[in-house]
Amino acid sequence: MKNVDDLIDSAAELAEHGLSKGEIADELNVSRETASWLVERGGNGADIETAASTSTSDIHVDWSALGRDSTRLRYAASAMADLLAKQGDEVDLTVGVEKAGAPLATAVANELDTDLGTYAPAKHQWDEGDIDEQGGGFSRNFAAIRDRDCYVVDDIITSGTTMRESIDAIRDQGGEPVACVVLVDKRGYDEIDGVPVYSLVDVVRVDREE
């Protein structure tokens, strides 16, 4: 995926398949606002250059070169696990944020020899309005929180909303997030709600004034 036209086409295709705007944001690794903008552009044929001039900028991250190959994914997860290892050996649960964070968390959990849990964030149900009206949840097919210390794994931090929601959800279950790790952090967080955040890549936006 090389340009905005490709993203608009992909967003339109995903919308036609019934995905919510929140799910489209997750699939394309962009913010919910950007996902809405892409869907709207695909739906009404608006002029891209004109629309872009009035939109808030975002950064699209395509990590499919890692995701489509199990060996590359394992190597990336090994590096993510190494970032977490400094937190000690008392943690026995790794929680992956669905969807893309789950396979990464599976590989990280294998590296660190922990149990595996998954959390589906509220944004997967979001299309319009206040996301607080939606709710996320933990899958019963994986390990329960049960007042345990845990690591949190996702692929991208775009605004920090999903990671913050995941941390709150774990704490609501009596658990304690010890550290978070992602492939790419678009915001460069050092911590979120008191939980350290580690990333393989930090993105720093440089806005130049001519």
What residues does each domain of the chain span?
A: 4-53, 64-202
Specify the CATH class of 64-202 in words: alpha beta
pLDDT digits (tens, 9 = 90+) for 134-177: 568 999 999 999 899 999 999 999 889 999 999 999 999 999 99
Residue 52: per-residue pLDDT: 43
Q: Are 138 and 117 in contact (CB under 8 A)?
A: yes
Asked if the domains at 4-53 and 64-202 fall in one CATH topology, the answer is no
Task: With CA atoms as reference, report the closest residue to 151 among 113, 202, 200, 201.
Answer: 113
Q: Are 88 and 114 in contact (CB under 8 A)?
A: no
Dig out the tokens for 3 from the structure. 């340009």
Dig out the tokens for 7 from the structure. 């993203």
pLDDT digits (tens, 9 = 90+) for 66-115: 999 999 999 999 999 999 988 867 899 999 999 899 999 999 999 999 99
pLDDT digits (tens, 9 = 90+) for 31-60: 667 777 777 777 654 444 444 444 456 777
Distances (CA, A) of 151 to 96, 142, 160, 170: 8, 15, 16, 10
Domain 4-53 adopts which CATH fold? Answer: Arc Repressor Mutant, subunit A (1.10.10)
Q: Distance (Å, rounded) from C-alpha 84 to C-alpha 104?
A: 13
